[in-house]
Amino acid sequence: MTDHDLDTLFAQARALTPADEGAAGRFLAGHRQRRSRQRTLWAGGASALLAAAVVTGVLVGHPDTLLPASAAYDAYQSAAGDGW
């Protein structure tokens, strides 16, 4: 093979054909679809994390008030009946 033959071969390899353009279009369409799906998943995950943070903040920020022992005793006695 001569240098001229190699130059011709490399020039043909660099030239785009309709098959190359079709393959590139299919790849880009699939890539855009995967990226869109990935963004949707990230948005759903971020929403779930935000909701969990709000619930945690409400639970931690507002502790339960404890009943006095006598109130707990009265509640148990009313539920169990007299003479338990």
Q: Each residue of 28-54: pLDDT tens digit?
A: 999 999 888 888 877 888 888 888 888
pLDDT of residue 29: 92
Taking the whole predicted model, whether its pTM rises above 0.85 is answered as no
pLDDT band at 67 (very low <50, low <70, confident <90, very high): low
**Number of independent structural domains in the chain:** 1
Whether the pLDDT of residue 74 is over 80: the answer is: no
- Asked whether residue 38 is domain-assigned, the answer is yes
DSSP secondary structure string for all residues of the chain:
--HHHHHHHHHHHHS--HHHHHHHHHHHHHHHHHHHHHHHHHHHHHHHHHHHHHHHHHHHHSPPPPPPHHHHHHHHHHHH-TT-
Q: Tell me what the mean pLDDT of segment 57-70 comes to.
A: 69
Domain that holds residue 32: 17-80
